[in-house]
Amino acid sequence: MDIRRKIDCFLPCEDMQKAVQMAEQFQVRGVVNHIYLLVSGEMSADATLPDGVSTLVVDNILSKQAMLTMAEKTTADYALFYMKTSPITLGYQAVERFVQVASATDATMVYADHYSVEDGKTVKHPVIDYQLGSIRDDFDFGSLVLIGAGALKAYAKLHGETDYKFAGWYDLRLCLSRMGTLFHLNEFLYTEEENDLRASGEKQFDYVNPRNREVQIEMEKAATAHLGEVGALIDTGRYEQPDFEEENFDVEASVVIPVFNREKTIRDAVESALKQETDFSFNVIVVDNHSSDRTTEILSELAAEDERLIHLVPNRNDLGIGGCWNYAVNDEHCGRFAVQLDSDDLYSSEHTLQKIVDAFHEQNAAMIIGSYRMCDFDLNTLPPGLINHAEWTEENGCNNALRINGLGAPRAFYTPLAREVKFPNTSYGEDYAMGLAFSRNFRIGRIYEELYLCRRWGGNSDAALSIDKVNANNLYKDRLRTIELKARQLQNKRGDEEGAGKLNPFFTAN
């Protein structure tokens, strides 16, 4: 097998001396054709460079201009692109292995597992397989990818008029995924220094940080264009209107609280719900998923004090959070609207429930999502503070929802549709799945003021996750996006005469 195909390397450069040292390990005889150091304009002055190494001026290494410049300068069979300025150490024959796999698979791009140096310690950093629904802009490829020159140059011809300052790399890899396979090699081919050592619970909210708004606008444009190219773009002008009078309910709303072993927080959550002041009748449905601590005892005490508290213990032991939600909304006590409250959290005021139910009618929406504030157990605000998902727009929120990792809280559903769609029986991503399915055919209403307090404390399970857990979560949410993207493609293909406006269960490709 011939692995001696030529590649051109593109390496970012902030310090010329360090970049030249880094370039030395990429000079693989018989494989590497040329090495380009990507520099800003102020660094473009002539420097003494080794043979086979030169500089390229780019505005931003992830901009479209940088992608097009790479396409123009690539004369070899492949382009090897490193996307960080921190040091990298190539594994034994890593470059040859990249080329060998690309040649064998005919992939448009190859990426691999790697090691990370974190606080001086080298740890494994596996990544996950790319799939149709892996369109979130924070997909982790690692920092070193091998791109087929033919695909790279085809992108340059098809790139369109949009000039992305930040979303160039994102736009390119979406295009590469349409052209062919993005191949994940489960081998640790290099070691990179990791400077972002924040916990997973902090990183996950970067996309809603107002300081990143300019970046997010570009990412949304690129994602929307991609959905259009693959036939999965939703036209909100074809939305259905929910009929809130189609069924009779004993109460107008139910606050739904799934719980397992939350003796420290469940009383606060239930009391927060029972204290709501409304001009309609409501109840609180707690699905106690066979708690083994004092949770069940506390709920029994509260239910004896207030008949509005419906304490349900499922007759089966295989329910995740989503299964508990299905159990609640299908119970005879569930009201017209089912409103979320996690067992760790609180409503911000006594008026939250009223505002949510009012929003259903005012916005003619089948689902409502509010805004929440991150806080500690003492209700002190934690970064990033208010999460209001201001990136949502009436026209394109349903499409941008496939790019981002969450839709916000608290979430509320028109009960007949929640019964029809059904939550996946999982304890992660079940709410996101419902939001995607609802937004395919019905409007999601938004409330941008604080309604909810999301408490982070020592018992939380999602504040600082291992890389394996982060990967498992991301793989599952990508799978949800794949399911939804396929459902949207099929719905668009069928068109009006096939009843494209009907909402089928999430796991049925409409």
Structure confidence at residue 43 as a pLDDT band (50, 70, 90): low
User: In the predicted model, is pLDDT for residue 391 greater than 60?
Assistant: yes
> Residue 259 corresponds to which tokens in the numbers above?
């719980």
Tell how far CA 237 is from the center of its chain. 25
The CB density around residue 483, as the number of other CB atoms within 10 Å, is 20
Beta bridge pairs of residue 39:
57
Angle at 155 between CA 219 and CA 44, to 5 degrees: 80
Q: What is the DSSP string of 101-119?
A: HHHHHT-SEEEEEEEEEET
User: In the predicted model, is pLDDT for residue 200 greater than 50?
Assistant: no
Q: What is the pTM of this model?
A: 0.91
Report the range of poorest mean pLDDT among 26-40, 45-59, 68-82, 330-344: 45-59
pLDDT computed for residue 195 by the predictor: 76
| Residue bearing the bigger pLDDT, 206 or 491 | 491
Residues 6+ apart with CB under 8 A from 89: 25, 190, 191, 192
Query: Residue 318, class by beta-carbon neighbours within 10 Å (0-12 exposed, 13-18 middle, 19+ buried)?
Result: exposed
DSSP secondary structure code for residue 410 in this structure: S
Average pLDDT (248-268) is: 97
Torsion of CA 321, 476, 140, 205, to 10 degrees: -30
pLDDT computed for residue 173 by the predictor: 98
pLDDT computed for residue 198 by the predictor: 46
**Residue 128, φ and ψ in degrees, nearest 5:** -120, 165
Q: What is the pLDDT of residues 209-218, one digit of tens each?
A: 556 889 999 9
Structure confidence at residue 70 as a pLDDT band (50, 70, 90): very high
pLDDT computed for residue 196 by the predictor: 67
Average pLDDT (201-212) is: 54
Structure confidence at residue 508 as a pLDDT band (50, 70, 90): low
Alpha-carbon separation of residue 348 from 398, 449, 451 (angstroms): 27, 10, 5
Alpha-carbon separation of residue 413 from 341, 367, 418 (angstroms): 12, 5, 6
Q: Taking Cα atoms as reference points, which of 272, 229, 184 lies closest to residue 453?
A: 272
> Residue 289 corresponds to which tokens in the numbers above?
């998923």
User: In the predicted model, is pLDDT for residue 499 greater than 80?
Assistant: no
Average pLDDT (409-437) is: 98
Mean pLDDT of the chain: 92
CA atoms of 474 and 112, how far apart (whole Å) = 17
Structure confidence at residue 504 as a pLDDT band (50, 70, 90): low
Scanning 243-294, the segments in alpha helix (DSSP H) are: 266-274
Q: What is the pLDDT of residues 173-184, one digit of tens each?
A: 999 999 999 999
pLDDT computed for residue 26 by the predictor: 94
Average pLDDT (437-458) is: 94
Structure confidence at residue 203 as a pLDDT band (50, 70, 90): very low
